[in-house]
Structure 1
Amino acid sequence: MSLLPLENIPGPLPATVPCTPSPLPAPAPSPLRLAPPARLLRQTLVILPVLLIGVWAVVDWRTVYEGTARLASADPWWLLVAFFFTCLGWLSSACVRQGALPERLPTGLLIASQFAAGAANHVLPASIGAHAVTLRFLRGRGIPLARATASLALYSAVRPVAKTLVLLVFLVAFPDLPQTGELVPDKRTLLLVAAGVTLGLTVGVLLVATVRPLRRPLLDALRCALTDVRVLHTRPARILALWGGAAAAPLLQASVIFAVGSALGLSLTWAQVAFAFLAASTAVGAVPAPGGIGPVDAAVVFAMVALGAPVDISATAVIGYRVLTVWLPLLPGALVLSALVQRKVL
């Protein structure tokens, strides 16, 4: 028996012939529904900063206890001044981040991200934690990956250059600083620094030349960096934020040490403490320690002793500096970091 085409069937179609596929029945809800991987990862990132801080506090508890106990007998007004300079340090970091990018960033979220980046910076070496937090923040603001990476590179390049320029200004402005010759790096140290820079550049060139997946992102970042540097240096506001913030950062850190030392009865002037910090952090700041803790601390104590300060007061001032700039804001910074991750800002 032959079948007639549908268009030749007289009258409307039968009700049993559907025009669209019927929807499938909804599956029964599973009592043990697993969260998606992205949600599990975000929940882990929310809890991870607090867990890392707990582990670090257990490992380095003696330093925290001794520093807090010594600061308990210090002048509270000078400690308040030191805390004020610590807060200004976060603002200077936010200024440099904004100065390294042509796009306008929201001020409140930028400062909050840098406060959170400080907590991450003291957990991972070589500023990896701070750069990772900032990169996530920039990507969340819609900044392309190449431009965000170029911004991080410019930030990392400007800060040591600005610190070196400030150190040279101190050498010219204060030629009568005593015993400065002991703080100048010897030829062996300069050769090691030159060898490290040469090795880093060589490894970078080899990676670009041999690893094809890295070639395009690195070249795009370099191209964006050169373009952004040219654009940024045509805007006075960006120049002031970039170079002014980078130059102010080490001076604010030195001011924290000076204020803590003054609370403990340190006899050095602000210029001597600032010069000691600049010389010490410039000489050993490239050592990849978390937040510069360790090598920089020892170098700053040595520099202050070379300028005539007692060893015990110098060491206590540096410990107090670390307590104010690292330990006190560490837990609030980790909580802010977790909140930014939870709100999908990072």
Structure 2
Amino acid sequence: MSSRADTVPAKGMGWRRWFFGLVLAGALVGAVLHWGEIERFGDLLKRVEPAWLLAAILFQISTYASVAAGWSAVLRRAGTPRPLRRLMRIAVTKLFADQALPSAGMGGNVLLVDQLRAIGVARGTAIAALLVSMIGYYAAYALFALAMLVLLWLHDRATPLMAGLVTMFLLVAIAIPGLALWLRHRGSAPLPPRLERIAVVRSLLDTVAAAPGDLLRDRALLARVAGFNALIFVADAATLYACLRGLGATVPFGTAFIALIMASIVVTLGPVPLGLGSFEATCIGTLRLLGIPFETAVAATIVLRVLTLWLPLIPGMALIRSAVRPHAAKHHHG
């Protein structure tokens, strides 16, 4: 069993480079197309109260700490703890790739196992960290999607389209971790002949089967990781709230929460890299629906997107490029 798995890194080197290149290309294209949005950010900074802007930045930094804390909980449970600082570097690359590739938030998962192995985590434990964090992420996401729909209903702003989007998202939120757990449960059982001939499917099955089952069955661990993932959504909503308050809008936190979650769902379901256009349109439209003036909604959304996407662009690209080089060096010397 180990022979096939051990050959994956060498054989997959070209695929890894292609994947990393795709992430970087998508980010660069998005930056060029939306350079005007980045330029407007400079003008908007003059209007945002410094204290609220600082709060928004701190909320964003906390999202990377929350992602890393979830992985850290799994690694500690497996007896292989790693410094939170090193895990936060991986979190930057993962969250950046999640946004750069339109794959229902799955793009960064391709990076995670490789990066954890690069810091000395066993392959099975790294895969378990991926699966547990995936389950925790979608559990928190689904809970907040339902909470958002309830809040819209309480505001008498829920529409059939919104209910349909949430329903579609819930199906995705159940299907993705469900598929991963089903593959883990199958272990090394033979696949149907047609699927067996697909190399990617065989590789995925081998990968998922390597995760230790005791970690996936630890309900306390799953709940803890789901809690860390919930903090990510709360911090993102708090960032939008700080942007709105910094621009002079007196709004309840629920308004920012509803707009953030609705925009995130549209991006998750949509095929647009970096959520370009779709996030902004949905966030602004939802804020308008909830009574925020158009100009304020646009300005707050632009500040939010720069803080969450464009400012991390440079460190995200640099860390992804540095992630490829160790693999390339190992492959060359091997």
TM-score when normalising by structure 1 = 0.70
2:41 paired with 1:67: yes
List aligned pairs for 1:220-231, cutoff 5 A. 220-225=206-211, 227-231=213-217
Computed over aligned residues only, the root mean square deviation of the Cα atoms, in angstroms, reads 4.2
- Rounded Cα–Cα distance in structure 1 between residues aligned with 2:157 and 2:15: 51
- Rounded Cα–Cα distance in structure 2 between residues aligned with 1:154 and 1:217: 19
List aligned pairs for 1:49-88, cutoff 5 A. 54-88=28-62
Q: Deviations over 1:95-147 (max 9, x none)?
A: 22334553423322111111233333343222454223322212223445455
Give 1:161 shift: 1.8
2:115 paired with 1:137: yes
Q: Deviations over 1:278-317 (max 9, x none)?
A: 2443465322433444323322222221111112211221
Give 1:168 shift: 4.2
Matched residue, 1:156: 134
Q: 2:145–2:166: 8 Å Cα contact kept in structure 1?
A: no
Q: Do the aligned partners of residues 40 and 246 (structure 1) sit closer, same or farther apart at CA in structure 2, a change above 3 Å counting?
A: closer
Give 1:248 shift: 0.8
Matched residue, 2:313: 330
Matched residue, 1:109: 86
Q: Deviations over 1:175-230 (max 9, x none)?
A: 9842332387345874697599879989x99x953222456544444445571444
Q: 2:20–2:320: 8 Å Cα contact kept in structure 1?
A: yes
List aligned pairs for 1:242-253, cutoff 5 A. 242-253=225-236
Matched residue, 1:269: 252
Match of 2:102 among 125, 128, 150: 125
Q: Do the aligned partners of residues 61 and 148 (structure 1) sit closer, same or farther apart at CA in structure 2, a change above 3 Å counting?
A: same
Q: 1:164–1:282: 8 Å Cα contact kept in structure 2?
A: no
Matched residue, 1:11: none
- Rounded Cα–Cα distance in structure 1 between residues aligned with 2:90 and 2:176: 32
Q: Do the aligned partners of residues 74 and 128 (structure 1) sit closer, same or farther apart at CA in structure 2, a change above 3 Å counting?
A: same
- Rounded Cα–Cα distance in structure 2 between residues aligned with 1:39 and 1:194: 33
- Rounded Cα–Cα distance in structure 1 between residues aligned with 2:160 and 2:244: 20
- Rounded Cα–Cα distance in structure 2 between residues aligned with 1:161 and 1:149: 18
Q: 1:99–1:232: 8 Å Cα contact kept in structure 2?
A: no
Q: Deviations over 1:10-37 (max 9, x none)?
A: xxxxxxxxxxxxxxxxxxxxxxxxxxxx
Q: Deviations over 1:59-106 (max 9, x none)?
A: 321121123322332212111110000000111111223345534233
Where is the helix percentage greater, Structure 1 or Structure 2? 2
Q: 1:125–1:290: 8 Å Cα contact kept in structure 2?
A: yes
Q: Which has the higher contact order (CA 8 A, sep 6+)?
A: 1
Number of aligned residue pairs: give it.
Answer: 303
Matched residue, 1:312: 295
Identity of aligned residues (%): 23
Larger Rg: 1
SS of residue paired to 1:180: coil
Q: 2:145–2:261: 8 Å Cα contact kept in structure 1?
A: yes
Q: 1:160–1:282: 8 Å Cα contact kept in structure 2?
A: no
- Rounded Cα–Cα distance in structure 2 between residues aligned with 1:320 and 1:129: 24
2:74 paired with 1:97: no
- Rounded Cα–Cα distance in structure 1 between residues aligned with 2:319 and 2:169: 39
Q: Deviations over 1:259-290 (max 9, x none)?
A: 11111122321122113322443465322433
Q: 1:301–1:314: 8 Å Cα contact kept in structure 2?
A: yes
